Each structure stands twice: as C-alpha cells, then as structure tokens.
Amino acid sequence: MKIIGKKVKRIDGFQKAEGSAKYASDYYFHNMLYASVVYANVPHGILKNIDVSKAYELPGVVYVATYKDVPGINKFGHVIKDMNFLVPIGDKVRFEGDVIALIAAESKEIAEKAAKLVSCEIEELPPVLTIDEALKDEIIVNGDSNIGFHRKIRKGHIEDAFKDADLVLEMNFETGYQEHAYLEPQGAVAYYTPDNVMEIYVSAQCPFYVHEDVANILGLPLNKINVIQTETGGGFGGKEDVPSYVAAKPALLSYLTKRPVKLIYTREMDIKETSKRHPSKSYFKVAFKKDGTILGVKSKTYLDMGAYSTLSPIVMYRTTVHSCGTYKVPHVFVDVYGVYTNKVPCGAFRGFGSPQVLFAIESVMDEAAKRLNIDPYEIRLKNTLDVGDETATGHKLTSSVGAKKTLKKVYEISNYPKLKDYVKKYNETNKFKKLGLGWSHIFYGVSLGSGGQHLDGASAEVLIQPDGTINIMIGNTEMGQGAKTTMAIIASEILGQKLDKISVLQPQTLVLQDSGPTVASRTTIFSGNAVRIAAKKIKENIIGFLSNYFGVGKNEISFSDGNVLVRDKIFTFEEITELCNKNNVKLSEIGWYKTPKLHFDHEKGIGEAYITYTFSTQLSLVEVDILTGKISLKEAWVCHDIGKVINYDGAIGQVHGGVVQGMGYAIMEEIKQDNGKILTDNFNNYIIPTIKDAPQNIHVEFVEEEFSEGPFGAKGLGEPSLMSSPPSIANAVSNAINKRISKIPISMEDII
C-alpha cells in the first residue's frame, strides 16, 4: 500500500484551523430573516388555542407560522409518522419541546421577543415520566399502548441452559440519558430561491433525510429541493434524523416569506428539543458452566423512547442483536421493548442502542468471572467469537473475526499480569484511594444491517480536472470523523495522485443519489467503496487511452506518487490528465456501492444481522477516591479489529474521542429533569469531560482481519470506539471498590 494506513494530515485541517470552514451558522444571505421557535413547555396536554396576534404587533415580525401554514404533510417519523411538525389545535402535546409556532423576523432579538408573545392554551394532562409508569399503560402517551415496539431473539431452548448451568446470574441494570453535546448546535439556513428551488444549508449527517422530510412538509417535488450539507461540527448520531426537524422550520418560513431564513439553535433549545441516547432498564439472567462457558442468555430491556418513536424501532434492532455481546451463546431469549414517555424523544447516538446492553452483558461477564474465580480476561477469551462460530442471532461468521486477537493484543500491550500486581499492591497501601482494572470486549455490526438494507447503498462522483486536481463528492458526510481524508486516501491509492491535489466536497442532494445516512460506522465501507469503484473506472479509462496512444500494454502503465509510469517513461499526473482531457477521455465517473443481500428472520430475530462486525477490547485503569466518590480514568488500552486501517491518524482520533465520550457517559454526564422538563440544559450543568479529565494515555492498537467486501478490507470504527469504554470503566470501578456497579452514569454518591 502506498498511502493506505499511513499517517497523513487531514485534508480539511488547515481550513478549520484558520476558521474559514463554513458551518451552518456561517451562512449569511442578503435580505435574510431570523427564525425563532415557540415551544409547548408542558410535558402532556391538549392544545386548545394559539394566539399569534401580539407577536404580529411587534415591528420587524414578518411571519408567524402555525400548523395551518404547512402546505404538505404536517408529520415526521421514520418508521411510523407519530410526531407532529407543528402541533395542531385539538391535538396532543407530548413533551416540553413540542413545537407550536415558528416566527420569522428581521433580527434575532425581534424573533426571540416575538416567540414570547405567542400565547397558547394547553389543557394539561398528567404526564408519564418513567419506564415503570409507562408500562402500567394507565395514561397513554402515543398510539394505543405505551409499549410501542417489541423485538426479540429466540434461539435454542433457554430453559435447558438454566437446567445445565453451574452458575446462573440474575442482574438488573439501568443506564441514563446521554446528550451528544456536539460543539456545534443544530442549525439550518433555508432559501426559497426566485426560481422556486428550496436551498437548504444544514449541519447534518444525512442530507437525504432532510431532503425527503422537507419535501413532505412543503409538498414539493424532490427535484426542487437542494439540501447542501455544511461543515458539520460533530454529530455522534445527534444529527441523523434531527436535522429534518430543524431544517423544516426555516424551510417553511422561507417558503412562506420567499426570503432566506436562518435558524441556529441555542444550546438550551438543542438540549431541550433534540434526541439523546435512550435511558434503559434491563434484566439479565445468564447461565454459565463452571469453566466460564456461557450456556444461555435471557434478557429483557426497556428503552425509554420519549414522546415519539423517531428512530427508536431501528435503535432497538441493534439493542437486540448486541444483547449477548461478542460471545457464542447457544440458547438465547432476548426481548427489547420501546416505551413511550412524555419526555424528549431519544434516537441515534454513537453505538445506537448497543451501549446500554453491552454495559449489562459485560458486567455480567465480570461478575461470573468473579464468582467462578476466573480472570475477567480468560472468561472473555473462552467465550468470544471466532471464524466458524455463530453470533447470538445465528449468523455464522466465515471471515474477518479478529476478536481473540484484540483481547490478546490488549493483554500484551498493557502488560496485564504486572499491571494487576501493581494495582493490588497500591490498594493494600492506600486507604482512601483505590485503583481498579476493568475489561470490556465488544462487537459492533457494521452498516445498517438487515433492518435497514433499503438504505444501504452509497454514491460517489470522482472528477479529475484537466490540471490533475481531483474533486470527489460523496453521499456520506464529513462531520469531524475524517471521512474526507479517508476518501481522498482511497482515491490517491488508486489514482496515484498526491493527497494535496484532492478535495472532497460536501454532498448536495440535487447532485448525488440518496446514499443513506452517515451512521452505523458505514461510511468507510459505503462511500469508500463508491469512491474506489469510481476511481477504478477512471483509471481504466485512462489506461485504455494511454495503452492505445503509446502502443503499450495495459499492464505496463502504473500510477504512484503523483506520477504515471508508461513502460519506462515517467509523466506527471498533470501531464497525463491534460493529455486525456485533450483527447476526450472520460475523467469523471460515478461509483455506486450496495451491500450483498442479508437473510434475517425478524420474527425470531435469527439470521445475518449485519454485513460484518468490528471487534474491540478495552482495558481501563481507574482511580476512585473513596472519601468523595470521585472517579478518574487514568489510562486505557484499546484494540479494534477494523479489517484494515485506511486513515491512521483519523482512526487514532476516533478511538481517543470515543474513549473519552464513553467515559463521560459512564461517570459524568447526566440529564436531570423535573416534571419532564430538562434542567440540565446547557454546559454549566450538563457537564462533559474537559482536557483535565482525559486520561494520561490511551494506548491504541489495531488488528487487521480483512473484510473482503470492504475497501482494501476495511470495516468500521466510528461507534465501537465509544462502545468499549463505558463497560470497561464501570468494570474497573466495580473492581476498585469491590462492589458491582449496575447503573450508569455511576453516581459518586453510590461509591462513598
């Protein structure tokens, strides 16, 4: 490999360092209006009346839109359309962030002032605020029952597992919300141009979702809406479906006023209205043999969906598949329920419903190891998946299973036996500070999987300019993770052009075919393959021409280091592209990649859940202050099998960021509510890790068990990088205080 897997500077780095990268809030248009939002601010009720007259009296207010102004379908919902865009009179308010009206005004100040002048009458209903209350089904939040969705796996005979077991563990777990806390709040600028094309500049992970949703809201054909993804300041799942709900607001106002309209959320709006990681409650019953072998897993998990289903049914699919962890489990009986409550709707967040159950199953593994007197490392090694094994859904793995290797690598780089010894000695001599070590071993189904295969395709266009510079437009998005650099590396590897001559553009929906969302750690495989296919086609075009032109064999032409070698002559890439251009050689191609068909029985939860899996291991060293309950992550050792490392620095960056974000979830971050109202609505009380909370070191290693379908063998990393962290840290804390942690975020109170 010439450049694949090498350390390179990210291609959009300097632009960001000099502050010229354009995020949604950086778009300004002549004659632009500013939008504000009128929220219901009650958790449950019936909207009786809306009075916008006072708002209209304020000079500078141009439009106050309510449900009556929506020209198309006033509904959102990816699986079922159970959420109003703007709540109609007579309909229900189901959480504090339901939207009643939208304002367009000449300035931000006027828009905000006007929002306070809209009054609405809401007949309040008693709210449903917890999973337990919801399960009683006495007050119905949405639909016919608060249990909106149910998914399951039924494999083998679970009762046999318990009958044959030497040890049966029954444990309960709880996990809390997590807010994405991308540094850039949600936002969009919409411009219904004079030629009746709705242009939307939006911070988003999936411009195609915005495209479809805005088309529905406005009743416009898709070819009249151009959604342009702006530079995106972090997503983590929070900008998967939510940007539709955000962008539809200025889009409607722009449609109504025929002027550009800007809506940038404040942090408070963002935390109040937009999705979070689902809180959960789980009950696990797991059977083991004396030697640590898992015989069966029975689990029941409830996810708190909040007021609307949004992406929850898809999130639950992942929860279900990941409930048994990375292990061979012959008997499986898994139930996952999505429950409505009168709170903020939860949705996608890095890991997508898996961190909740991975925390549970990994805690169970540690507890079993303890009871059976086996090292936590050994029990994982014993049960982990290998080539030829079946996952909990019965998916037989035929290749690219580096699970064991990741375990062994972490064991080796951490010098585990020595480390264990050190911790033991430290704890013997320290009364009030204790160290703890915790393992986690997880897997992650890459791509949308059998549940979302209709979206699992992606497009890319590669265009070589006559001067040899290259533009690539991919259908997936750069949101910080380094997708642009990864795509440029792939193109560079194939075409031999230097990285600094390649730029990667943000997607536009009027240019590229729907490429699905930038989620599920799928971008490297999907967009990567699309770029690979397009670049290869162009390369063939060039080779075909050169072979003819110079009268050499096709195999005598090669590309590398910005040069093209034609038999024994070296040309610069630029000379060749200029020549090609003059000779009408096709220098632009579109690549399209879709996955092989997966077979899955959704009724039983059995089959090929995902196209491939990333396998990961983390060992964490924590220090716990017994007197205050304060937890610090001191050091972490992490290894991921991602098939092939393409963008080395990017991969390291993902792991660092994932470990720290996962740490926030495990020990720090907490959404607090009062009667359904979020109290922790900004960074003063929703606290995320600072530079002073990062561990001294995160040791990262990769295993490369190539995945034949992936570009150069690559799988995905975006989410597993976070997922290994919470269970590893929780296990380390349990280890330090010698008490099982069964709830995250871990409360300092529970420690002292």
Interacting positions 504-543 with another protein (CB under 8 A): none
In the complex, the smallest distance separating the C-beta of residue 312 from another protein, rounded to whole angstroms, is 23
Work out which of 191, 236, 333, 443 binds another protein, going by CB under 8 A. 236
Cα separation, 427 vs 432, in Å, equals 9
Ramachandran quadrant class, 445 (left: phi over 0; alpha: psi -120 to 50; beta: rest): beta
- Complex with another protein: residue 238 or 330, whichever CB lies closer: 238
**Residues, the chain:** 752
**Residue span 243-282 as binding mask against another protein, x where in contact by CB under 8 A, dash where not:** ---------------------x-xx---------------
In the complex, the smallest distance separating the C-beta of residue 9 from another protein, rounded to whole angstroms, is 5
Cα separation, 503 vs 201, in Å, equals 20
- Complex with another protein: residue 234 or 605, whichever CB lies closer: 234
In the complex, the smallest distance separating the C-beta of residue 58 from another protein, rounded to whole angstroms, is 12
Distance of CA 285 to the CA centre of its chain: 29
- Complex with another protein: residue 218 or 489, whichever CB lies closer: 489
Cβ count near 685 (within 10 Å) = 12
Concatenated DSSP letters of 143-171? SS-SEEEEEEEEES-HHHHHHH-SEEEEE
Phi, then psi, of 439 in degrees rounded to 5: -100, 150
- Complex with another protein: residue 556 or 625, whichever CB lies closer: 625
In the complex, the smallest distance separating the C-beta of residue 401 from another protein, rounded to whole angstroms, is 27
- Complex with another protein: residue 223 or 628, whichever CB lies closer: 628
Q: What is the DSSP letter of 186?
A: P
Cα separation, 620 vs 354, in Å, equals 19
In the complex, the smallest distance separating the C-beta of residue 438 from another protein, rounded to whole angstroms, is 18
**Residue span 416-435 as binding mask against another protein, x where in contact by CB under 8 A, dash where not:** --------------xxxx--
In the complex, the smallest distance separating the C-beta of residue 26 from another protein, rounded to whole angstroms, is 5
Cα separation, 294 vs 349, in Å, equals 29
In the complex, the smallest distance separating the C-beta of residue 659 from another protein, rounded to whole angstroms, is 6
- Complex with another protein: residue 555 or 684, whichever CB lies closer: 684
C-alpha dihedral sign at 275, 281, 283, 289:
positive
In angstroms, what CA-CA distances link 429 with 346, 625, 626? 45, 14, 14
- Complex with another protein: residue 338 or 482, whichever CB lies closer: 482
| Residues contacting another protein: total by CB under 8 A | 79
Cα separation, 573 vs 393, in Å, equals 49
Q: What is the DSSP letter of 384?
A: B
Interacting positions 154-213 with another protein (CB under 8 A): 180-185
Work out which of 49, 53, 558, 628 binds another protein, going by CB under 8 A. 628
590-610 b/e (C-beta count within 10 Å ≥ 16 → b)? bbbbbbeebebeeeebbebbb
Report which of 584, 581, 751, 592 is spatially closest to residue 666, judged by C-alpha positions: 751
- Complex with another protein: residue 8 or 357, whichever CB lies closer: 8
Work out which of 45, 207, 233, 306 binds another protein, going by CB under 8 A. 233
Work out which of 330, 480, 591, 720 binds another protein, going by CB under 8 A. 480
Judged by DSSP in three states, 120 sits in strand
- Complex with another protein: residue 74 or 186, whichever CB lies closer: 186
Report which of 151, 241, 158, 235 is spatially closest to residue 609, judged by C-alpha positions: 151
- Cis peptide bond N-terminal to 330, omega within 30: no
In the complex, the smallest distance separating the C-beta of residue 273 from another protein, rounded to whole angstroms, is 16
- Complex with another protein: residue 249 or 262, whichever CB lies closer: 262
Interacting positions 676-695 with another protein (CB under 8 A): 679-680, 682-685, 687-694
64-100 b/e (C-beta count within 10 Å ≥ 16 → b)? bbbbebbebebebbbeeebbbbbbbeeebbbbbbbbb
Ramachandran quadrant class, 629 (left: phi over 0; alpha: psi -120 to 50; beta: rest): left
- Complex with another protein: residue 113 or 289, whichever CB lies closer: 113
Contact 468, 572 (CB under 8 A): yes
**Residue span 376-415 as binding mask against another protein, x where in contact by CB under 8 A, dash where not:** ----------------------------------------
- Please list the alpha-helical segments (H only) found in 593-704: 648-667
Interacting positions 81-120 with another protein (CB under 8 A): 108-109, 113
Interacting positions 3-32 with another protein (CB under 8 A): 9-10, 12-23, 25-26, 28
Phi, then psi, of 5 in degrees rounded to 5: 80, 0
366 binds another protein (CB under 8 A): no
Cα separation, 377 vs 80, in Å, equals 43
Cα separation, 706 vs 642, in Å, equals 8
Interacting positions 641-680 with another protein (CB under 8 A): 649-650, 652-653, 656-661, 667-668, 672, 679-680
In the complex, the smallest distance separating the C-beta of residue 204 from another protein, rounded to whole angstroms, is 13
- Complex with another protein: residue 532 or 677, whichever CB lies closer: 677
Interacting positions 430-459 with another protein (CB under 8 A): 430-433
Work out which of 117, 334, 472, 479 binds another protein, going by CB under 8 A. 479
Work out which of 43, 207, 234, 279 binds another protein, going by CB under 8 A. 234
Interacting positions 696-735 with another protein (CB under 8 A): 697-698
In the complex, the smallest distance separating the C-beta of residue 695 from another protein, rounded to whole angstroms, is 8
- Complex with another protein: residue 541 or 632, whichever CB lies closer: 632
- Complex with another protein: residue 118 or 659, whichever CB lies closer: 659
Neighbouring residues of 417: CB distance < 8 A, sequence distance ≥ 6: none
In the complex, the smallest distance separating the C-beta of residue 67 from another protein, rounded to whole angstroms, is 27
Cα separation, 100 vs 102, in Å, equals 7
Cα separation, 255 vs 240, in Å, equals 24
**Given the structure tokens 């150069």, which residue do they identify?**
712
Which residue type sits at 501? K
In the complex, the smallest distance separating the C-beta of residue 664 from another protein, rounded to whole angstroms, is 9
